Amino acid sequence: MGEAIGQILPMAVGIAISPIPIIAVILMLVTAKARVNGPAFVLGWLIGLAILGILVIGVAAGVGTSSGTPANWILWLQLVLGGLLLLVALRQFRSRPKAGETAPMPRWMGAIDAFTPGKALGAGILLSSLNPKNLLLGVAGAATIAQTSIPTGQQAIAYIVFALIASIGVAAPVVIFFALGDRAPALLERMKTWMGQNNAVIMAILCLIIGVKLIGQAFGGLTS
């Protein structure tokens, strides 16, 4: 299990520092319903990651492995995911704002002021499990756990660790909000501004590193 946790750390960290979800939860924390919507978003985030892990690890367990080695389809999945992450890295790098430009934010963020707790919960689920970049990283993390061929119970524990690490980024602003009180808004605003401006570069570097890692890992398994 230790090997599995070690291998999934890059993917978990990649999800944890994904700027757009962090910016979304920060925007929720400056609304009138901050005390409810912030925690609801984090709960939805965990639910989304749980659904993703159950699907990938459940499918892997159902298909099974042979002789304690990972099924070839898992290795091929890692290879495909690695290639897609490289494409995402290229797209993100090309979309980075030029010097002096302000990075645009998704238009749906303009509706966050009117979010109910239910919408905040749903946004957390969608951004953790269906956001394209997080979806690729989440599936890659679950597939990497399945690729280690450890018992299903240990796979579940490893994925729980993965989900908790992947949730640090969205949970941190909520902790700051409740812990710092009146001092929180200024700090959260600085976080939002920096992450928004550097979103493309952050994700380009992460996707490049993780994509190369997955391709190398898959290629090594397929040729061994």
pLDDT in tens, 54-98: 888 877 766 654 445 556 777 888 888 889 989 988 988 887 777
Judged against a pLDDT cut of 70, whether residue 39 lies above it is answered with yes
For residue 192, the model assigns a pLDDT of: 86
Confidence category of residue 30, pLDDT binned at 50, 70, 90: confident
Mean pLDDT of 145-161: 85
148's tokens: 């280690």
Instruction: Look at the block and give the residue holding tokens 């946790």.
Output: 5
For residue 66, the model assigns a pLDDT of: 46
Mean pLDDT of 138-162: 86
Q: Which domain holds residue 73?
A: 2-223
Say how many C-beta atoms besides its own lie within 10 A of residue 118's C-beta: 11
For residue 119, the model assigns a pLDDT of: 94
94-135 pLDDT, tens per residue?
A: 877 776 676 667 778 878 988 999 999 999 999 998 888 888
Determine the 3-state secondary structure of 98 from DSSP.
coil
For residue 26, the model assigns a pLDDT of: 93
CA distance 18 to 42: 14
CA distance 208 to 86: 5
Domain count, the chain: 1
Instruction: Look at the block and give the residue holding tokens 């002789």.
Output: 67
Query: CA–CA distance from 124 to each of 52, 66, 181, 204 (Å)?
Result: 13, 37, 23, 22
For residue 69, the model assigns a pLDDT of: 52
85's tokens: 């992450």
For residue 171, the model assigns a pLDDT of: 96
CA distance 23 to 45: 14
Partner residues linked to 69 by β-bridges: 66
What is the residue-averaged pLDDT of the chain? Answer: 85
Please count the residues of the chain. Answer: 224
